[in-house]
Amino acid sequence: MVYWKRQPRKKHPAVQSMNSRQRFRRLSPAERRVAIEAAFLLIRVPIALRLRGYAALRDRIERAAGTRPAGAGAARIAQLLQGVARRLPYQTTCLEQSVALHWMLRRRGIAAELCIGARKQEDAFEAHAWVECAGDVLNDDPGVRQRYAVFDGPLPARVRFS
C-alpha cells in the first residue's frame, strides 16, 4: 500500500488569516478565479479519489484537451494552487495537489503530465506525485526526477491510493 507524505504546516491558519485575506485582495480578478477553482478542486479531488479511485479520475482528466504550450501561465497556476493548499484547514497530499493542478491545466488546454514516482529508503517505500509541463516540474523542485523512479505509462486501473 502506498502512503503519500503530507506536507507539514508552517503556521496555524488563524495566524495566516489576515495576511491571506490581504494577499487574496491583491490578486487580479483572473488570479482570484484560479485560486477559488484551486480551493474547490482541493476539496473535490480527495473525495473523488476515495469514492471513484485514481483510474476513473485519471480517465476524466485525460479526456480534457491539452495541446497548447505552457508559457508562464502554468507556473502561475501552480503557485496559486500551492498557496491555497497551504491555507486550507487540513493538509493535502502531493497526489491530491498534483491531480488538482493537472486537472486545472488540462481544462485550459495546456499539455501537462502527471508524474508518479517511487523510491525505497532504508526499509520504507515512498511514493510521490508532481506535474511536469514541457519538461519543467511545476509543483516541486526540479531535482525530483533524480530522487524518484518515475512509473512509465499509466498505472493499472485497480491501483487505489490511500
- Per the listing, cell 501537462 goes with 112
Model pLDDT for residues 34-44, shown as the tens digit of each residue: 999 999 999 99
pTM over 0.85: no
Single-letter code of the amino acid located at 23: R
- Domains of the chain by residue range: 13-150
Residues in the chain predicted with pLDDT less than 50, given as ranges, are: 1, 159-162
User: Contact at 8 Å (CB) between 128 and 143?
Assistant: no
Q: What is the per-residue pLDDT for 161?
A: 47
Q: Which residue blocks in 27-138 are alpha helix, DSSP H?
A: 29-51, 54-62, 72-87, 94-107
